[in-house]
Structure 1
Amino acid sequence: MSVRLKLTIFLSILFITSIGNSLFFFILEANNENKIKWVTHTNEVIYTSERLLSSLKDAETGQRGYLITLNPSYLTPYYSGKEESQIRLNELKSLTSDNPEQQERLSTIEHHISLKNAVLAHTIALAEHDRIGEAIKIVLQDRGKLFMDKIRGNINEFIHAEEILLELRKSELHKSREMMTSVIIVEVIFYSLFAILTFSFINERLFLPIKLLLSNTAKMKKGEKIDNSDDCLNDEMGMLLSSFYSMSKKVNDRERALHHRAIHDELTGLKNRATVFDEIDSAIKESILTDSKVVVFFLDLDKFKQINDSLGHDAGDIILKETASRLRSSIRSDDHVFRVGGDEFIILLRKVQKQSEINNVANNISDAFNEPITIKGSILSVQPSIGIAISPDDAKNSEELLRHSDTAMYEVKNNDSQKYKFYNRNKQKDVDEKNIDKLGIS
């Protein structure tokens, strides 16, 4: 077999494997992107499920507040909770339309919600017609509680099914990435051996003979002794390996970019809710070792929905981007900002040693929003309601810390004179006990 034919075979093999490698990695990337999409989708289903349960609790809280005080303002969270629960239920139906089992669970949940809402509406109607005694009697019969327990159980079962699905999809994504890593390692080894073999062949059969021929020709002209000890360099093979490693780097860069997209909000560039619980729990563990505190700010933009509805989603997007920018400029270098959905943001403060550090950040945020935003010729004043919770003072895990900061945030919304508020565990306990006593529940 001639040198030319062997060289052609080597180059043909190299060309084919390069094309095959590119196609293979393209397929793997597309597969990984699809898996990341489903992981994000499942997280959205779980989050929406939690919002559904939260809206039902808001409706129930409004009903209880109205029965206790007969204050019509408590009907606002009742009606908004009912409306939001229907919206979240419809979202879940749409998100799980390809899952018959989850659709069946949602049908059961919807049935129990209708029964629960019927009880709430009946007691409110009785109270509105000065029959509060009958309304309280119905409450004490625990019919609403029975339906709520069923709803909670159904939703927990629904979420559990999604969590199992989420773990399965995460596992598939992890295996896919492991396979990609293994393929890269195998291909690095393969191309290295192939490069060595190709270099040995070309050097021995082409470059070395030519160099030796030229060298010996020159020596012959000078009358010097001819020998075969000269070596040659292999620049061509170096270029080949450089191209391969460049291609591998691009694959790794794309994978990192996909991972970044999975945990960041596309509109604002902030981290999304995918890692917020883990990061808060990690900060709490770190605070135990450093004898410091962890602080969570829960922010919600006031009247954002009205602005979004009146000026359009483009204006809403501008406000969200500007909000993200102002929050970034208001925090310390070690703090983190998350956009967890809609107009809700979370700020995580690590290693807090003094109360003044918390106040400074809160004041920085308030000052940052004193400047109005101009959109389409409209000058808009956008203000956030801020609820603050501290670990370990208020809670020792991420879920409770977020819930308490959310509670404090809603207290700010109900009090226009405050820009931010700290969660008050003792006050909340007194309110809960007072409500229980008035309802006669032990």
Structure 2
Amino acid sequence: MSLRAKFILLLSSIFLVVVANTFIIYVLDKQGQAKLEAVIHTHDALDESEKLYNQITNAETGQRGYLLTQDLNYLEPYYTALEQVKQHFLTINKLTLNNPEQQDTLTEIDELVDKKLAELALTVTLVMQGTPYALEEAKAIVLTNEGKKYMDQIREHILLFQNTELAKLEQQNADYQKNRLFITHFVTLQIPLMLILLVFCAFYINAKLFKPLKLLIQNTDQLEKGEKPKTLTISSHDEIGYVLKRFARMSDIVYERTSKLNFQASHDHLTGVLNRTELKPALKQAITTCSEDNKLAVIFIDINKFKQLNDEYGHLIGDQVLIETAKRITSSVRADDDVYRYGGDEFVIITHNIAKYRHINAMITHLLARFDNPFVFEQLTLNISLSIGVALAPDHSLDHQELLRLADQAMYHAKHELKNSYHIYNNYNQED
């Protein structure tokens, strides 16, 4: 076998290793995409189940309004909600076709929904008759509380459905993270592997090319001395240079793949709000646009006794508390405010365009009021309270880290006060 053939075989082997590793990364990445799609699929099922219940509630609200006022305007949201109920149920059913357990639960929900909608339709029909007897009969149906029992049962079954999906979602998230971690480790191992191959190639070329070249020089010396030189066959190395360039190109592909795999998502997988990595740049940017007339508020939120709750009821309930807390916080802020999950049970809100201190007081009072209602998870009812600290720019600081520290300090001050309390850093030194 010629030297050229040996070099081609060596470099071809290296090339195949790189291609094989790239292909493995590609396959792993495709698997990761499939796992991510499964996570999104489960999220969609959870969202649709919540929308289904909300639309049933909307239908009931429209029916109650029409029953009390006989105003036909209430029938528009009623009929709209009925259509939405059908659409959301069909979507959920489609999303869970491959899950017999969830299909059974949906069958029970469907039966209960039919009963509830039938009760609503009957009362609406009676009211539309317009006779005193029909009105009294419609009210009598409502007073039986049969509809409330249906709603309670529907909510119970939807919670059962959601808990099953949440358990599946937790496993799917774990599988997805495991896949991402494995890809990262696999790609990281390629760097020393490539270095080893390159060093081996250098030694091989030295042994197969430069040592023969040394022999050629020795032969030249022997010829100069008049001795018979040894016969040497030297092959060209142009093809080797070409292959090495191709190898460098493949190395660029591997490093580019590494950088893409190290990219982190911007949102918290559990609660759906922005994650901590997004907080620093967003806060720094927001500070540059604030002023005395348009203040910036950093609201630091901590769930009271969350560790005790986690220890007593388990991480699944803890996760549900975090998810519900994030929902209530998000629903309490304005559209241009941002909510972040800062730590395990800590959240941060960046609130823009605050003109006066009473505005932030009103906002937090509204936020705390959202937690007056307990959290209900199946048979478990939990009263969740918050401790909140606030720091403002430019009043307290124009440094993002300092603002977070002051808001955190204010939050700890609030913890020593009553439940659902908040504290604005040095607010007693500020004027409205």
TM-score for the superposition, normalised by structure 2: 0.57
Q: Following the alignment from structure 2 to structure 1, what is the Cα–Cα distance between the partners of residues 270 and 168?
A: 18
Q: Following the alignment from structure 1 to structure 2, what is the Cα–Cα distance between the partners of residues 399 and 240?
A: 62
1:195–1:241 Cα contact (<8 Å) kept: no
Aligned to 1:13: 13
Alignment deviations for residues 210-265 of structure 1 (CA, whole Å, 9 cap, x no partner): 379579979x99xxxxxxxxxxxx988985774343122332355478x77xx8xx
Q: Secondary structure at the match of 1:279?
A: coil
Identify the match of residue 172 of structure 1 among 172, 175, 178: 175
Q: Following TM superposition, by how much is the alpha carbon of 1:296 offset from its aligned partner in structure 2, in angstroms? A: 3.8
Task: Identify the range of structure 1 (105-114 vs 186-195) with the bigger mean alpha-carbon deviation.
Answer: 186-195
Aligned to 1:279: 274
1:27-426 equivalent positions in 2, closer than 5 A: 27-128=27-128, 129=130, 130=132, 131-207=134-210, 210=213, 239=245, 242-252=248-258, 255=261, 277-279=272-274, 287-288=299-300, 296-297=333-334, 350-352=350-352, 354-355=354-355, 391-395=363-367
Q: Following TM superposition, by how much is the alpha carbon of 1:113 offset from its aligned partner in structure 2, in angstroms? A: 0.3
Q: Following the alignment from structure 1 to structure 2, what is the Cα–Cα distance between the partners of residues 84 and 241?
A: 57
Q: Secondary structure at the match of 1:13?
A: helix
Alignment deviations for residues 57-90 of structure 1 (CA, whole Å, 9 cap, x no partner): 1011112222233322222221111111011111
1:63–1:124 Cα contact (<8 Å) kept: yes
Alignment deviations for residues 9-43 of structure 1 (CA, whole Å, 9 cap, x no partner): 53242132123223222222222222222222221
Query: Runs (4+) of structure 1 moved beyond 4 Å?
Result: 1-6, 211-218, 234-241, 253-257, 273-276, 280-286, 396-400
2:22–2:254 Cα contact (<8 Å) kept: no
Task: Give the direction of change, closer, same or farther, for the CA distance of 1:190–1:349 in structure 2 (3 Å limit).
Answer: same
Q: Following the alignment from structure 2 to structure 1, what is the Cα–Cα distance between the partners of residues 184 and 4?
A: 36
Q: Following the alignment from structure 2 to structure 1, what is the Cα–Cα distance between the partners of residues 139 and 338?
A: 48
Q: Following TM superposition, by how much is the alpha carbon of 1:178 offset from its aligned partner in structure 2, in angstroms? A: 1.5
Task: Give the direction of change, closer, same or farther, for the CA distance of 1:212–1:56 in structure 2 (3 Å limit).
Answer: farther
Q: Following TM superposition, by how much is the alpha carbon of 1:54 offset from its aligned partner in structure 2, in angstroms? A: 0.8
Q: Secondary structure at the match of 1:288?
A: strand
Unmatched tracts of structure 1, length 5 or more: 222-233, 264-270, 299-330, 337-347, 360-388, 401-442
1:199–1:237 Cα contact (<8 Å) kept: no
Q: Following TM superposition, by how much is the alpha carbon of 1:158 offset from its aligned partner in structure 2, in angstroms? A: 1.1
Alignment deviations for residues 346-369 of structure 1 (CA, whole Å, 9 cap, x no partner): xx9823361489x9xxxxxxxxxx
Q: Following the alignment from structure 1 to structure 2, what is the Cα–Cα distance between the partners of residues 180 and 397?
A: 45
2:184–2:262 Cα contact (<8 Å) kept: no
User: What is the Cα-based RMSD across aligned positions, in Å?
Assistant: 4.5
Q: Following the alignment from structure 2 to structure 1, what is the Cα–Cα distance between the partners of residues 5 and 120?
A: 86
Which residue type is aligned with residue 125 of structure 2? A
Q: Following the alignment from structure 1 to structure 2, what is the Cα–Cα distance between the partners of residues 85 and 26?
A: 41
How many pairs does the alignment contain? 301
Q: Following the alignment from structure 1 to structure 2, what is the Cα–Cα distance between the partners of residues 81 and 390?
A: 32
Which residue type is aligned with residue 190 of structure 1? L
Identity of aligned residues (%): 27
2:299–2:350 Cα contact (<8 Å) kept: yes
Which residue type is aligned with residue 169 of structure 1? Q
Alignment deviations for residues 286-307 of structure 1 (CA, whole Å, 9 cap, x no partner): 5228xxx987445xxxxxxxxx
Q: Following TM superposition, by how much is the alpha carbon of 1:191 offset from its aligned partner in structure 2, in angstroms? A: 1.9
Unmatched tracts of structure 2, length 5 or more: 225-239, 284-296, 302-328, 340-347, 373-432
2:49–2:158 Cα contact (<8 Å) kept: yes
Tell me which structure has the larger Cα radius of gyration.
2
Q: Following TM superposition, by how much is the alpha carbon of 1:140 offset from its aligned partner in structure 2, in angstroms? A: 2.6
Q: Secondary structure at the match of 2:98?
A: coil
1:280–1:398 Cα contact (<8 Å) kept: no
Alignment deviations for residues 368-413 of structure 1 (CA, whole Å, 9 cap, x no partner): xxxxxxxxxxxxxxxxxxxxx985232259999xxxxxxxxxxxxx
